[in-house]
Amino acid sequence: MAPPRELQGFYYDPEKNRYFPIKGPIPGSSSKPKNPTPKAPQTPSNQLQSGRSSCRKLRNRTLPKLLQARELEGRHVIYPHHCRCNFVEEYEKIQASKPVVWRYRGTDKMGVCALKHLRVDVQTLQGQTETDVLLTGSINGSLSFSEVGGVGQYFDNGTKWRADCVRNFVKGKTFDHDEVRKPVFRPNRAALLMPSRISCIRLGPKCSPQAENDGSVAGRVLYPFLVILQFTTLGSETSGGSVYTLGLVEPLNLGPGILNTWSGLEEIASFRCTLWTAEYDYNRHRAVIGTSLGGASVDLETRMETWFLRCKSDVFAQQIINSGNVIICGLRNGAIVTVDFREKRESLSDRLISHRIPYSSSIGGCKKEWFKLKGDIFPSHTIRMPSSISSLVSLQFDEQYFLASAMDGSIRLYDHRLLQRGAVQSYEGHVNSYTRIQLGVDPTERFVTSGGEDCKLRSWSLKSGELLFEEKFSDSIISTMCYKTYSSCKAEEENQFKRDSSQGAWLGSHEGLFYMRWW
pLDDT digit string (tens) for 386-408? 999 999 999 988 888 999 999 99
pLDDT at 207: 44
**What CA–CA distance (Å, rounded) separates 294 from 388?**
15
- Cα separation values, 508 from 357, 379, 385, 451, 478, Å: 36, 36, 26, 10, 6
Long-range CB pairs of 257-262 (<8 Å, 24+ gap) are 257/123, 258/187, 258/189, 258/190, 259/189, 261/145, 262/192
pLDDT at 34: 41
- Cα separation values, 181 from 115, 122, 149, 424, 436, Å: 19, 21, 8, 39, 30
User: Under a CB-based contact definition with an 8 Å cutoff, are residues 103 and 163 in contact?
Assistant: yes
Q: How many CB atoms lie within 10 A of CB 416?
A: 21
pLDDT digit string (tens) for 404-462? 999 999 999 999 989 988 999 999 999 999 999 999 999 989 999 999 999 999 999 99
State the DSSP code for 303: -
Q: Helix, strand, or coil here: 484?
A: strand
Taking every pair of Cα atoms in the chain, the longest distance, rounded to a whole number of angstroms, is: 76
Amino acid at 449: T
Residue 466 pLDDT class (50, 70, 90 cuts) = very high
- Decide if pLDDT at 504 tops 70: yes
User: Under a CB-based contact definition with an 8 Å cutoff, are residues 337 and 314 in contact?
Assistant: no
Amino acid at 114: A
CA nearest neighbour of 479 among 90, 139, 164, 180 = 139
Triad 233, 276, 113: Cα angle to 5°:
80
User: Under a CB-based contact definition with an 8 Å cutoff, are residues 274 and 228 in contact?
Assistant: no
Q: Which residues pair with 244 in a beta bridge?
A: 227, 267
**What CA–CA distance (Å, rounded) separates 382 from 336?**
6
User: Under a CB-based contact definition with an 8 Å cutoff, are residues 201 and 265 in contact?
Assistant: no
Lowest mean pLDDT among 122-126, 171-175, 493-497: 493-497
- Cα separation values, 381 from 339, 384, 417, 503, Å: 9, 10, 8, 35
- Decide if pLDDT at 74 tops 80: no
Helix (H) / strand (E) element for 505: namely strand 504-509
State the DSSP code for 399: T
Question: What is the CATH topology of the domain spanning 109-437+488-499?
Answer: Methylamine Dehydrogenase; Chain H (2.130.10)
**What CA–CA distance (Å, rounded) separates 33 from 411?**
27
Residue 2 pLDDT class (50, 70, 90 cuts) = low
Q: Which residues pair with 296 in a beta bridge?
A: 289, 307
pLDDT digit string (tens) for 208-232? 333 333 434 333 334 456 666 544 3
Helix (H) / strand (E) element for 209: namely helix 209-214
Q: State which of 13-27, 254-268, 335-349, 383-397 shows the largest mean pLDDT.
A: 383-397
Which percentage of the chain shows pLDDT scores above 90? 35
Q: Residue 126, CB half-sphere, CA atoms under 13 Å: how many?
A: 8
Per-domain residue ranges of the chain: 109-437+488-499
Residue 264 pLDDT class (50, 70, 90 cuts) = confident
pLDDT digit string (tens) for 42-59? 444 454 455 555 555 554
pLDDT at 206: 58
The larger pLDDT score, comparing residue 514 to residue 90, is at: 514
